[in-house]
Chain A
Amino acid sequence: MLVEKKRNSFIKCALLFLSFSGSLFLLSGCWDRVEINDLAIITAAAIDKKDVNQVELSLQIFIPKAMGGGQGGEGGSGGENVTFVISQAGVNIADALSKLQADFPRKIFWGQCKVFLFGEELAREGVYESLDFLLRHPEPRERGYVFVSKGKAKNILAMKTNLEPYSGEAVREIATLGSGLAVTLQDFDELLTGASQGAALPYMKVASKKGDKESSYDYTSFIGAAVFKKDRMVGDLSRKETRGLLWLKNEVKEYTVTVRPPGEKGELSFTLGTVQVKVDPQIKNKEWKMKLDVKVTGMVIQNGTNLDVNDPNSLKIVQQAFQKSVKQRIEGVIGTAQHKLKADIADFAEEFHRKYPKQWKRVEKRWEEVFPNVKVQVQVNAEVRRQGYINQPEKAREGVDNE
C-alpha cells in the first residue's frame, strides 16, 4: 500500500512537471520576440517631396558596431561613420517605409527617433498626411522634435558632424540648448489643431565653411523659423525675428543682447537672467488689443563704451538702451507675423479665446482677417542686475573720458 502511494505521488509529480514544462512554450511569447541585433534603430527621419504625388523617406540608421568599436579620440570628419542613410520614394510614408523594409535585413524601429525633418518643398505643400502617419503609428514618439530644412531634408541626414556622433543628434542639441526654437511633434499637433492654426518650426540648412581641402566642412545651421498656416509653410522668419518670437513665447534661455547706447562709440552686451513675459489680451470698444509686459534682468558681459554702470545716470542710459533693443526685437517679429505672413505664430488666438470666449466665438471663423488688426502694445522693463568681475570699463580706467 505504501508502495502504491509512493508510485501515485510519483506519477502526480511527473504529470505536474510535464504540464509546467509544457507551458513554458506558451509563456515565452514567441510572436513578438525581437532581438536587439535584429533591429535597425532610426536616429532621425527626413521626409521630402519627390516628383508629383511622391514623397521620399530618408532614414538615418544607427550602426551599433561603429559605436561599440570605439570611435577613437580622433573623431572629426575622418572618423568612422556611426550612422548611414537609406532613402526610398513612395506615394506616402507608409508606402516608402514598406518598400524600404523589403530591401532591408533588419526590422526598422522608430522608438528612438528623436528628430523629424520636413523638406521645404513638402512643407509648402502641406504636412497633414505625413503628420498623420507619425501620430498614428505606435512607434514614433511624440517627444521627437520637428524641423523644416531649407532645400532637401535628406542632405542634413547625410551630413558628417564634428562633435556629435551623427547629424540627427547635432540638430536635436541645437533645438534643446535653448538658443533656438524647440517644437516637439506633440506641440506641433497641438498648435495646428488649436485656435491659432499657426506654428513656427525651426528652420535648418546645411551650411559649409569654405577653406582649403582640409579645413572646409559642412555643418547644420539654424537659420530661423519656418512659419506654418494650417499645415502649410507660408514663409520664414530670420534668425533675429525667431529670437523675437522666443521672447513672445517666453522660451528665451541662452541669449545675448548687444546694444549701442545713444551717443556712444562702443557696444554693450548683456546675458539674460530671469525673463518674464505677461500676455494680457484686452477688448475695449470692439478694439482688440494685446498687451505684452516683459520683465527682464541682465548681466553685463562686455562693455565697450565709456559708460560706468556704477554711476546711476549711466545705468539709466544703459538700461534704456537695453529696454529699447528688446522692445524692437519683439515688435519686429510681431510686425512680420501680422502684416507680412498673416500667421498667428505667437498663439494670440488662444489667449483671446481664454479670456474672452464669447467675443472669440464671433471671430473664430475669420481670425485670419482679425489677427493683422490686433493692436500690440509692448512694454519692456529691463534691469541690469550685475556687472561681472570688473566694475569699470577698461576705457574709463584709462581716464579717456575725464575731460
Chain B
Amino acid sequence: MKEVKISSLQLSMMMYPTILATAILTVPSVTAKFAAHDLWMSPILASFMGGVAVFIAVQLHKLYPEQTIIEYSENIIGRIPGKIIGFFVLIFYLEMTGEIARSYSEFIVSSFLFKTPIMVIIALMLLVCAFAVYGGLETMARAAQLFFPAFFVPLIILIILLSPDFKFENVFPVLEEGIVPPAKGAVVLSGWFAEFFLIAFFLPFLSDRKKAMKQGIINVVAVMITLTLVNLTVLFVLGVSTASKTYPLMNAGRYISWANFFENLDAVIMAVWILGAFVKLTVFYFAVVLGTAQWLNLSDYRPIVWPVGILIAEFSFWGIPNMMVFARDEDQSFPFYSILIQVLFPLLLLMIAMIRRRKGENRAVNE
C-alpha cells in the first residue's frame, strides 16, 4: 500500500480545490455578514490557521514519517486514548464528507436540477468518488492534476469578465469598525483553513518529503490569495448586498454581460464547483477510508470503500434537516469543531510527542 507515491506538487493540486470548492461559494456571504465591506481581509487573517495546521501536520510527520494521525496518536498517548482520539477524528471527517456531499447537491438542486431527487445527485457523485478512491491515491492525484487547470482557469476568466462591472469604491471605508469584524469573519473562515491538516493523511505517501513544508505554505498562500480575490470580486460587483445572498459568486457570475451576447454563465460556475467538489470529496473520502482501515488494523483500505460510501450518503442527511440549519451550523459551530479536531487535538499530540521525545533523549544520554 505504501509504495504508492505522489509528489508534493500533486498534493498541492489536490488541496487547493479541496479548500476552495466549498469556500468560494459560501464564504463571501458568511464573511460579509460579519465584516461587511472589509470581508476581503478575513482570508488574510484566517490563513494564519492554515499555516498552523500545515506546520503541525509536518512536524508530526517528521516525528513519525511513515504514519498518519490515526496511527501515531496510539504511539504518542497509548493504545486506548489513541483509539479514542482517532475515533473522534474519523467521525469528524465522516461527518464533514457527508456535509460536503450535501452542500454540493443542495447547490445543484436549488440552482439547476430543480426536480431531480437530491439522493440521486449525492449517490452519483459519491459513486464517482468511490471509483477514484478505490483506484488509489495515485489515481486521485492524477485526476486532481488533470482537473486543476479546469478549476483554476475558469475562475480567473470569471473575474476578468466581471471587471467591467467592478465598482472599486465599494471597499471604502476600510476598517470602519476596526479590526474586530474582519477578525470575526476570519474565525469562521479558519474552519476552512484548518482543513489543511488533511495533508497529515497524505504526507507518508510523498516522494519528496523535504518539500512538504514549503509546498504546504505556498498552498496556504495560494488559497488565501484566491479567496481574497473572490471576496473582492464579489464585493466590487454586489457591494453591500453580498451578505443577503446565499451563493454570492453565483449571483456575480450570472451578472456577466460581455458585449451583450456573452451572458448567463451560470454553467461555468457550476462546472468549476462540480470539479472542485469532486476533488474535495475524494480527498475527504480517502482520509476517512484510510483512517478507518488503520483504526481497525486492516491491511488494505479497499474493502471498506463501498460501505463507507453508503455511510457518507447517510451522513449527508443525518443532522441536516434543511439548508437554513446547515447555514447556521456553518458559521456558528463548524469553525470551532473544525479547529478543535484539526488543530487543537494535533497540537496537543505534537506537544506530548515532543516532551516524550526529549525525555527519551535525556534518558538515552543519562544511560
Contact = CB atoms under 8 A, between A and B. Distances in A.
Nearest to A176: B260
A189 B169 CA distance: 17
A32 B241 CA distance: 31
Interface string A250-265: 0000000000000000
Contact of B263 (A138, A143, A189, A350): A143
Given A31-B113, A194-B239, A142 B169 contact: no
Interface stretch (A282-290, A292-300, A353-361): A353-361
A111 interface: yes
A190 B238 contact: yes
Interface in A78-117: 111
A184 B238 CA distance: 12
Interface stretch (B20-28, B114-122, B148-156): B114-122
Given A194-B240, A354-B173, A186 B255 contact: yes
B257 interface: yes
Given A353-B173, A354-B173, A143 B116 contact: no
B262 to A, nearest CB: 12
Given A138-B110, A193-B240, A354 B169 contact: yes
A355 B176 CA distance: 10
Interface string B105-136: 00000111111110010001000000000000
B251 A186 contact: yes
A29 interface: yes
B333 interface: no
A141 interface: yes
Interface residues of B, number: 26
A197 to B, nearest CB: 11
B111 A138 contact: yes
Contact of A193 (B117, B120, B244): B244
Contacts of A142: 251, 254-255
A186 B169 CA distance: 17
Nearest to A136: B246
A195 B176 CA distance: 14
A32 B113 contact: yes
Contact of A186 (B117, B238, B263): B238
Interface of A: 26, 29, 31-32, 111, 138, 141-143, 184, 186, 189-190, 193-195, 350, 353-355, 357
27 contacts: A26-B120, A26-B124, A31-B115, A31-B116, A31-B117, A31-B120, A32-B114, A32-B116, A111-B264, A138-B111, A138-B114, A141-B264, A142-B251, A142-B254, A143-B254, A143-B257, A186-B238, A186-B255, A193-B240, A193-B241, A193-B244, A194-B239, A195-B240, A354-B169, A355-B172, A355-B173, A357-B176
